[in-house]
Copies of this chain bind each other. A is one copy, B any other.
């Protein structure tokens, strides 16, 4: 199974359009230690010919350009895409807006929870996905689902979605619905992606507010985990004067600290653990930072665009 990181940054990408934080400035200056990153997305394939995209970022068109394997080759028909399906883990703009790029009359399967499908159906802009060609398939939690190719044949890839601690997408928050803004369990899901033929699998957890014991037990001994790397410190956006929200308020755990992911993963045996969905303010984005050294020491990698892993 081949996993390609299409985008490694959190919402807005790195650098963000209106961000003048030192990290963003380094990236704009093309400093080699501050590689620019597009917004959070993975592509998965068993054969590098048929691909499934996990989360459709607003940068999807640019991401396809950066990953030619996801575009047609000469022997393909005049209209063709190697993209067989798209799987959404939530309704975040940085995970859904990219669907708009996958118009107009091209068959593929769209997997998401019913709640996310409802949101997409309510936004008429997604009518650019012609329902004659795009099948929307509701995902049930805690159940293996075999992904289907665009011609409805079996892909050999199974996915199990499960709820993790989190929050509803920012643009769907309802302040009248109490401190969790109307979030329900299936608003933030993680995925186990499983290759039927070889039995290999990995976890994709791009948003997670904390790591309870059941989650530790679940992912312990995994070959590969992609995990929420939004922030280094819970209050870094406030401290650095670029925002007013903590990580907790946004539904994202931070890397450092007693309640952070480094600590939570400390005792786990995971072959490769990779941070993804990294915010512009996170000092660990910068290759030669002290914070990156701490990640290195703890056995973590930091995802970058076009990173490829075979398991």
Residues of chain A whose beta carbon lies under 8 Å from any beta carbon of chain B = 11-13, 15, 17-21, 24-25, 28, 36, 38, 58-62, 64-65, 68, 71-74, 76-81, 83, 93, 96-97, 100-104, 106, 119, 122-125, 127-128, 170-172, 240-242
Given A20-B78, A21-B78, A25-B74, 15 more contacts at CB 8 Å? A17-B81, A18-B72, A18-B106, A20-B74, A24-B72, A28-B71, A36-B65, A58-B100, A93-B125, A104-B170, A123-B123, A124-B171, A125-B125, A127-B172, A128-B171
Contacts of A81 in B (CB 8 A): 17-18
Interface CB pairs A-B, < 8 A, 26: A11-B103, A17-B60, A17-B61, A17-B64, A17-B81, A18-B81, A19-B72, A20-B72, A20-B77, A20-B78, A20-B80, A21-B78, A28-B71, A58-B58, A59-B61, A59-B62, A78-B240, A78-B242, A93-B103, A93-B125, A97-B97, A124-B171, A125-B171, A127-B171, A127-B172, A128-B170
Q: Is the CB of B12 within 8 A of A103?
A: yes
Question: Contacts A17-B81, A62-B59: A93 and B100 contacting too (C-beta < 8 A)?
Answer: yes
Question: Contacts A17-B101, A100-B58: A242 and B124 contacting too (C-beta < 8 A)?
Answer: no
Closest chain-B Cβ to A264's Cβ sits at a distance in Å of 28
Contacts of A172 in B (CB 8 A): 124, 127
Q: Is the CB of B102 within 8 A of A17?
A: yes
Closest chain-B Cβ to A258's Cβ sits at a distance in Å of 28
Which of A13, A15, A125, A240 has the most chain B CB atoms closer than 10 A to its own CB?
A: A125
**A108 to B264 alpha-carbon distance, docked (Å):** 41
Q: Is the CB of A93 within 8 A of B128?
A: yes
Partner of A71, one of B11, B17, B77: B17
Contacts of A119 in B (CB 8 A): 124
Chain B residue at smallest Cβ distance from A57: B61
**A241 to B79 alpha-carbon distance, docked (Å):** 9
Contacts of A103 in B (CB 8 A): 11-12, 93
Chain B residue at smallest Cβ distance from A241: B78
Contacts of A61 in B (CB 8 A): 13, 17, 38, 58-59, 62
**A59 to B25 alpha-carbon distance, docked (Å):** 21
Closest chain-B Cβ to A20's Cβ sits at a distance in Å of 4
Contacts of A71 in B (CB 8 A): 15, 17, 28
Chain B residue at smallest Cβ distance from A24: B72
Contacts of A79 in B (CB 8 A): 18-20, 242
Closest chain-B Cβ to A122's Cβ sits at a distance in Å of 7
Return the 8 tightest CB-CB contacts between A and B, nearest first.
A20-B72, A18-B81, A127-B171, A18-B106, A62-B62, A123-B123, A97-B100, A123-B125
**A124 to B242 alpha-carbon distance, docked (Å):** 25
**A65 to B15 alpha-carbon distance, docked (Å):** 9
Contacts of A58 in B (CB 8 A): 58, 61, 100-101
Chain B residue at smallest Cβ distance from A129: B171
